[in-house]
Protein backbone atom coordinates (compact mmCIF):
# COMPACT_ATOMS: atom_id res chain seq x y z
CA UNK A 1 0.00 0.00 0.00
CA UNK A 2 2.88 2.42 0.47
CA UNK A 3 6.44 2.63 -0.67
CA UNK A 4 8.27 3.19 2.60
CA UNK A 5 6.86 0.26 4.55
CA UNK A 6 4.85 2.09 7.21
CA UNK A 7 1.51 0.58 8.09
CA UNK A 8 -1.76 2.46 7.64
CA UNK A 9 -4.20 2.59 10.56
CA UNK A 10 -7.79 3.42 9.64
CA UNK A 11 -10.20 4.58 12.34
CA UNK A 12 -13.98 4.61 12.10
CA UNK A 13 -16.50 6.80 13.94
CA UNK A 14 -20.27 6.72 14.12
CA UNK A 15 -22.04 8.81 16.77
CA UNK A 16 -20.06 11.73 18.12
CA UNK A 17 -22.77 13.32 20.28
CA UNK A 18 -25.69 10.87 20.14
CA UNK A 19 -28.15 13.70 20.75
CA UNK A 20 -30.91 12.31 18.52
CA UNK A 21 -31.09 8.98 20.37
CA UNK A 22 -29.86 9.63 23.92
CA UNK A 23 -29.77 6.49 26.02
CA UNK A 24 -28.26 3.03 26.09
CA UNK A 25 -29.04 2.20 22.44
CA UNK A 26 -26.03 4.10 21.10
CA UNK A 27 -22.47 4.63 22.26
CA UNK A 28 -21.45 8.19 21.30
CA UNK A 29 -17.72 8.83 21.38
CA UNK A 30 -18.14 12.39 22.63
CA UNK A 31 -16.53 15.56 21.31
CA UNK A 32 -14.08 15.89 24.21
CA UNK A 33 -12.65 12.44 23.63
CA UNK A 34 -12.74 13.02 19.87
CA UNK A 35 -10.54 16.10 20.22
CA UNK A 36 -8.18 14.26 22.60
CA UNK A 37 -7.85 11.39 20.14
CA UNK A 38 -7.12 13.74 17.25
CA UNK A 39 -4.47 15.52 19.29
CA UNK A 40 -2.78 12.24 20.24
CA UNK A 41 -2.86 10.98 16.65
CA UNK A 42 -1.46 14.29 15.38
CA UNK A 43 1.59 13.83 17.65
CA UNK A 44 2.36 10.27 16.56
CA UNK A 45 0.96 9.73 13.06
CA UNK A 46 0.77 11.24 9.58
CA UNK A 47 -2.79 11.76 8.38
CA UNK A 48 -3.81 10.60 4.92
CA UNK A 49 -6.64 11.91 2.78
CA UNK A 50 -8.94 9.68 0.76
CA UNK A 51 -7.23 10.97 -2.38
CA UNK A 52 -3.85 9.91 -0.98
CA UNK A 53 -5.23 6.41 -0.48
CA UNK A 54 -6.94 6.24 -3.87
CA UNK A 55 -3.89 7.48 -5.73
CA UNK A 56 -1.48 5.44 -3.57
CA UNK A 57 0.40 8.56 -2.53
CA UNK A 58 2.30 8.59 0.73
CA UNK A 59 3.67 11.90 2.02
CA UNK A 60 6.90 11.78 4.05
CA UNK A 61 6.36 10.48 7.57
CA UNK A 62 8.63 13.16 9.10
CA UNK A 63 9.19 11.15 12.25
CA UNK A 64 5.63 9.81 12.55
CA UNK A 65 5.12 6.15 13.44
CA UNK A 66 2.40 5.36 10.92
CA UNK A 67 -0.16 6.71 8.50
CA UNK A 68 -3.74 7.25 9.67
CA UNK A 69 -7.00 7.75 7.80
CA UNK A 70 -10.18 8.80 9.63
CA UNK A 71 -13.58 7.52 8.41
CA UNK A 72 -17.18 8.29 9.40
CA UNK A 73 -20.00 5.84 8.66
CA UNK A 74 -23.77 6.24 8.20
CA UNK A 75 -23.97 9.87 7.04
CA UNK A 76 -25.05 11.33 10.40
CA UNK A 77 -25.65 15.09 10.46
CA UNK A 78 -23.73 15.43 13.72
CA UNK A 79 -20.59 14.21 11.96
CA UNK A 80 -20.85 17.12 9.53
CA UNK A 81 -22.03 19.72 12.05
CA UNK A 82 -19.77 18.83 15.00
CA UNK A 83 -16.98 16.67 13.62
CA UNK A 84 -16.04 18.31 10.34
CA UNK A 85 -15.45 21.83 11.77
CA UNK A 86 -13.05 20.40 14.38
CA UNK A 87 -11.22 18.38 11.75
CA UNK A 88 -10.88 21.38 9.48
CA UNK A 89 -9.69 23.62 12.31
CA UNK A 90 -6.87 21.12 12.94
CA UNK A 91 -6.11 20.56 9.24
CA UNK A 92 -7.00 16.86 9.41
CA UNK A 93 -8.54 15.12 6.36
CA UNK A 94 -11.23 12.47 6.61
CA UNK A 95 -13.79 10.58 4.52
CA UNK A 96 -17.55 10.27 5.14
CA UNK A 97 -19.66 7.29 4.06
CA UNK A 98 -23.42 8.02 3.95
CA UNK A 99 -26.17 5.53 3.13
CA UNK A 100 -28.46 6.84 0.41
CA UNK A 101 -31.71 5.13 1.39
CA UNK A 102 -32.87 8.04 3.58
CA UNK A 103 -32.10 10.47 0.76
CA UNK A 104 -34.59 8.59 -1.41
CA UNK A 105 -37.38 7.69 1.04
CA UNK A 106 -36.93 10.09 3.98
CA UNK A 107 -37.16 7.24 6.51
CA UNK A 108 -34.83 5.86 9.15
CA UNK A 109 -32.68 2.91 8.20
CA UNK A 110 -33.36 -0.36 9.96
CA UNK A 111 -30.09 -0.12 11.89
CA UNK A 112 -31.05 3.27 13.33
CA UNK A 113 -34.61 2.23 14.15
CA UNK A 114 -32.98 -0.48 16.24
CA UNK A 115 -30.74 2.07 17.97
CA UNK A 116 -33.72 4.27 18.79
CA UNK A 117 -35.80 1.40 20.12
CA UNK A 118 -32.94 0.15 22.32
CA UNK A 119 -32.66 3.67 23.74
CA UNK A 120 -36.33 3.56 24.75
CA UNK A 121 -36.84 -0.03 25.94
CA UNK A 122 -34.83 -2.68 27.71
CA UNK A 123 -33.55 -5.44 25.44
CA UNK A 124 -35.84 -7.93 27.18
CA UNK A 125 -38.93 -5.77 26.62
CA UNK A 126 -37.88 -5.02 23.05
CA UNK A 127 -37.49 -8.70 22.22
CA UNK A 128 -40.97 -9.31 23.63
CA UNK A 129 -42.35 -6.53 21.40
CA UNK A 130 -40.55 -7.94 18.36
CA UNK A 131 -41.87 -11.43 19.08
CA UNK A 132 -45.44 -10.15 19.34
CA UNK A 133 -45.13 -8.34 16.01
CA UNK A 134 -43.52 -11.34 14.30
CA UNK A 135 -46.30 -13.64 15.49
CA UNK A 136 -49.03 -11.19 14.47
CA UNK A 137 -47.54 -10.92 10.95
CA UNK A 138 -47.14 -14.67 10.55
CA UNK A 139 -43.33 -14.51 10.44
CA UNK A 140 -42.88 -18.03 11.77
CA UNK A 141 -39.15 -18.29 11.11
CA UNK A 142 -38.44 -14.96 12.77
CA UNK A 143 -40.66 -15.77 15.74
CA UNK A 144 -38.83 -19.06 16.24
CA UNK A 145 -35.41 -17.43 16.05
CA UNK A 146 -36.39 -14.62 18.44
CA UNK A 147 -37.51 -17.29 20.90
CA UNK A 148 -34.47 -19.56 20.51
CA UNK A 149 -31.78 -16.96 19.81
CA UNK A 150 -29.22 -16.72 17.00
CA UNK A 151 -27.14 -19.73 15.96
CA UNK A 152 -24.07 -17.47 15.91
CA UNK A 153 -23.54 -14.30 17.92
CA UNK A 154 -21.68 -11.40 16.36
CA UNK A 155 -19.00 -9.51 18.25
CA UNK A 156 -20.45 -6.51 20.08
CA UNK A 157 -17.87 -5.82 22.80
CA UNK A 158 -19.75 -2.91 24.39
CA UNK A 159 -23.09 -4.70 24.83
CA UNK A 160 -24.40 -7.08 27.47
CA UNK A 161 -25.30 -10.67 26.43
CA UNK A 162 -28.99 -9.80 25.88
CA UNK A 163 -27.97 -6.88 23.65
CA UNK A 164 -25.56 -9.03 21.65
CA UNK A 165 -28.33 -11.57 21.15
CA UNK A 166 -30.80 -8.95 19.97
CA UNK A 167 -28.34 -7.22 17.61
CA UNK A 168 -27.15 -10.51 16.14
CA UNK A 169 -30.74 -11.51 15.42
CA UNK A 170 -31.78 -8.22 13.87
CA UNK A 171 -28.58 -7.41 12.02
CA UNK A 172 -27.78 -10.89 10.66
CA UNK A 173 -29.99 -13.86 11.52
CA UNK A 174 -33.59 -12.97 10.64
CA UNK A 175 -34.73 -12.72 7.00
CA UNK A 176 -33.98 -9.20 5.76
CA UNK A 177 -37.51 -8.21 4.79
CA UNK A 178 -39.00 -9.62 7.99
CA UNK A 179 -36.55 -7.95 10.38
CA UNK A 180 -36.94 -4.62 8.60
CA UNK A 181 -40.74 -4.89 8.75
CA UNK A 182 -40.63 -5.80 12.45
CA UNK A 183 -38.46 -2.82 13.42
CA UNK A 184 -40.53 -0.46 11.25
CA UNK A 185 -43.76 -1.53 12.95
CA UNK A 186 -42.15 -1.42 16.40
CA UNK A 187 -40.77 2.05 15.78
CA UNK A 188 -44.17 3.32 14.66
CA UNK A 189 -45.78 1.82 17.77
CA UNK A 190 -43.24 3.39 20.13
CA UNK A 191 -42.37 6.69 18.42
CA UNK A 192 -44.73 7.30 15.49
CA UNK A 193 -43.55 8.09 11.98
CA UNK A 194 -39.80 7.98 11.45
CA UNK A 195 -39.51 10.85 8.95
CA UNK A 196 -39.01 13.62 11.57
CA UNK A 197 -36.32 11.51 13.21
CA UNK A 198 -34.60 10.90 9.88
CA UNK A 199 -34.57 14.62 9.13
CA UNK A 200 -32.69 15.24 12.37
CA UNK A 201 -30.35 12.25 12.16
CA UNK A 202 -29.00 12.27 8.61
CA UNK A 203 -26.97 14.69 6.53
CA UNK A 204 -28.97 16.93 4.21
CA UNK A 205 -28.38 16.96 0.43
CA UNK A 206 -26.51 20.26 0.90
CA UNK A 207 -24.13 18.57 3.34
CA UNK A 208 -23.60 15.69 0.92
CA UNK A 209 -22.84 18.15 -1.87
CA UNK A 210 -20.32 19.95 0.32
CA UNK A 211 -18.52 16.71 1.13
CA UNK A 212 -18.45 15.83 -2.56
CA UNK A 213 -17.06 19.24 -3.42
CA UNK A 214 -14.27 18.73 -0.89
CA UNK A 215 -13.46 15.20 -2.06
CA UNK A 216 -14.44 13.67 1.29
CA UNK A 217 -17.23 11.38 0.09
CA UNK A 218 -17.57 7.61 -0.16
CA UNK A 219 -20.59 5.30 -0.02
CA UNK A 220 -21.98 3.11 2.75
CA UNK A 221 -24.38 1.49 0.22
CA UNK A 222 -28.06 2.24 -0.13
CA UNK A 223 -29.86 0.30 2.61
CA UNK A 224 -27.16 -0.61 5.17
CA UNK A 225 -27.68 -4.36 4.74
CA UNK A 226 -24.94 -6.95 5.36
CA UNK A 227 -23.74 -7.46 1.80
CA UNK A 228 -22.66 -11.07 2.34
CA UNK A 229 -26.33 -12.04 2.65
CA UNK A 230 -27.20 -10.54 -0.76
CA UNK A 231 -24.83 -12.40 -3.05
CA UNK A 232 -22.65 -10.77 -5.67
CA UNK A 233 -25.49 -9.33 -7.76
CA UNK A 234 -27.44 -8.07 -4.75
CA UNK A 235 -24.37 -6.45 -3.28
CA UNK A 236 -23.51 -4.88 -6.62
CA UNK A 237 -27.00 -3.38 -6.83
CA UNK A 238 -26.77 -1.97 -3.27
CA UNK A 239 -23.52 -0.22 -4.15
CA UNK A 240 -24.55 0.96 -7.62
CA UNK A 241 -27.86 2.46 -6.48
CA UNK A 242 -26.02 4.45 -3.83
CA UNK A 243 -23.38 5.62 -6.29
CA UNK A 244 -26.06 6.80 -8.73
CA UNK A 245 -27.84 8.80 -6.01
CA UNK A 246 -24.64 10.32 -4.69
CA UNK A 247 -23.57 11.31 -8.18
CA UNK A 248 -26.98 12.88 -8.81
CA UNK A 249 -26.87 14.76 -5.49
CA UNK A 250 -23.22 15.74 -5.26
CA UNK A 251 -22.09 15.69 -8.88
CA UNK A 252 -19.39 13.28 -7.78
CA UNK A 253 -19.22 9.48 -8.10
CA UNK A 254 -17.30 8.00 -5.16
CA UNK A 255 -14.61 5.38 -5.61
CA UNK A 256 -14.58 4.06 -2.04
CA UNK A 257 -17.09 1.93 -0.14
CA UNK A 258 -17.48 1.20 3.55
CA UNK A 259 -19.21 -2.16 3.93
CA UNK A 260 -22.20 -2.01 6.34
CA UNK A 261 -21.41 -3.81 9.61
CA UNK A 262 -18.19 -4.85 7.87
CA UNK A 263 -17.27 -7.85 10.03
CA UNK A 264 -16.84 -11.51 9.22
CA UNK A 265 -20.60 -12.11 9.07
CA UNK A 266 -21.21 -9.13 6.80
CA UNK A 267 -18.62 -9.47 4.03
CA UNK A 268 -17.48 -12.33 1.80
CA UNK A 269 -15.38 -12.87 -1.33
CA UNK A 270 -18.51 -12.09 -3.37
CA UNK A 271 -18.80 -8.76 -1.54
CA UNK A 272 -15.33 -7.75 -2.65
CA UNK A 273 -16.05 -8.91 -6.20
CA UNK A 274 -19.20 -6.77 -6.25
CA UNK A 275 -17.23 -3.76 -5.05
CA UNK A 276 -14.74 -4.30 -7.85
CA UNK A 277 -17.59 -4.67 -10.36
CA UNK A 278 -18.80 -1.21 -9.30
CA UNK A 279 -15.41 0.40 -9.87
CA UNK A 280 -14.51 0.77 -6.21
CA UNK A 281 -10.81 1.42 -5.67
CA UNK A 282 -10.95 1.00 -1.88
CA UNK A 283 -13.22 -1.00 0.42
CA UNK A 284 -13.34 -0.73 4.22
CA UNK A 285 -14.23 -3.58 6.57
CA UNK A 286 -14.50 -3.42 10.36
CA UNK A 287 -11.87 -6.10 10.93
CA UNK A 288 -9.81 -4.66 13.78
CA UNK A 289 -6.30 -4.56 12.36
CA UNK A 290 -3.73 -2.22 10.84
CA UNK A 291 -2.97 -2.37 7.12
CA UNK A 292 0.64 -3.28 6.32
CA UNK A 293 2.17 -2.89 2.89
CA UNK A 294 0.42 -5.21 0.43
CA UNK A 295 -3.03 -5.19 2.06
CA UNK A 296 -5.73 -5.70 -0.58
CA UNK A 297 -7.32 -2.30 -1.12
CA UNK A 298 -10.88 -3.70 -1.14
CA UNK A 299 -10.29 -5.49 2.18
CA UNK A 300 -8.90 -2.75 4.39
CA UNK A 301 -9.14 -3.21 8.14
CA UNK A 302 -10.35 -0.52 10.52
CA UNK A 303 -10.25 0.10 14.23
CA UNK A 304 -13.23 1.53 16.05
CA UNK A 305 -12.51 4.84 17.76
CA UNK A 306 -12.97 3.03 21.09
CA UNK A 307 -9.99 0.82 20.23
CA UNK A 308 -7.56 3.76 20.40
CA UNK A 309 -6.71 6.14 23.25
CA UNK A 310 -8.80 7.53 24.94
CA UNK A 311 -11.28 4.84 23.93
CA UNK A 312 -12.85 2.32 26.27
CA UNK A 313 -10.43 -0.48 25.39
CA UNK A 314 -7.27 0.66 23.58
CA UNK A 315 -5.77 -2.24 21.64
CA UNK A 316 -2.33 -0.71 21.09
CA UNK A 317 -0.19 2.24 22.10
CA UNK A 318 -0.42 5.24 19.80
Instruction: Based on the fold, state whether residues 152 and 225 are members of the same structural domain.
Output: no
> What is the mean predicted confidence (pLDDT) over 1-16?
84
> Do residues 46 and 176 share a domain?
no
For residues 131 and 213, state if they share a domain. Answer: no
Residue 317 covered by a domain: no
Assigned domain for 2 exists: no
Q: Are residues 177 and 226 in the same domain?
A: no
Per-residue pLDDT tens over the stretch 84-129: 999 999 999 999 999 999 999 999 999 999 999 999 999 999 999 9
Same domain for 140 and 272? no
Reported as a single tens digit per residue, the pLDDT across 42-60 is 999 999 999 999 999 999 9
Query: What residue numbers bound the domain in which 134 lies?
Result: 110-193
Q: What is the pLDDT of residue 293?
A: 87
Average pLDDT over residues 147-168: 80
**CATH number for the domain that contains residue 17:** 3.20.20.370
pLDDT digits (tens, 9 = 90+) for 217-231: 999 999 999 999 999
- Binned at pLDDT 50, 70 and 90, residue 152 comes out as low
49 in any annotated domain: yes
pLDDT above 90 covers a percentage of the chain that reads 87
For residue 315, being part of any structural domain is answered with: no
What confidence tier does 4 reach under pLDDT thresholds 50, 70, 90?
low
1 lies in some domain: no
Q: Does residue 81 lie within any of the structural domains?
A: yes
- For residue 1, pLDDT over 50 is answered with no
Residue 318 lies in a domain: no
Whether residue 258 sits in one domain with residue 137 = no
- pLDDT reported for residue 15: 97
For 200, what's the count of Cα atoms within 13 Å in the CB-facing half-sphere?
A: 10
Q: How many domains does the chain have?
A: 2
Co-location of 102 and 114 in the same domain: no
* Average pLDDT of every residue of the chain: 94
Same domain, 213 and 294: yes
The answer to whether residues 74 and 186 belong to one domain is: no
134 and 49 in a common domain: no
pLDDT at 31 over 80: yes
**Residues 119 and 163 grouped into a single domain:** yes
Amino acid sequence: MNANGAETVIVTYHYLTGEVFPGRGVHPFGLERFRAQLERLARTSRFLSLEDLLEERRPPLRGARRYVLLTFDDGLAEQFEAGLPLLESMGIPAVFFPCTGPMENGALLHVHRLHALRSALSDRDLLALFLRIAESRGFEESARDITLGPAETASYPYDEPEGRRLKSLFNYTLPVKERETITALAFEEVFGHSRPWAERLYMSPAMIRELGRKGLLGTHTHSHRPLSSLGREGARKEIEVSLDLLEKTAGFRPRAVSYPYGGRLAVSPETFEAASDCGMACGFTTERRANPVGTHRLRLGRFDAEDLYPGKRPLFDL
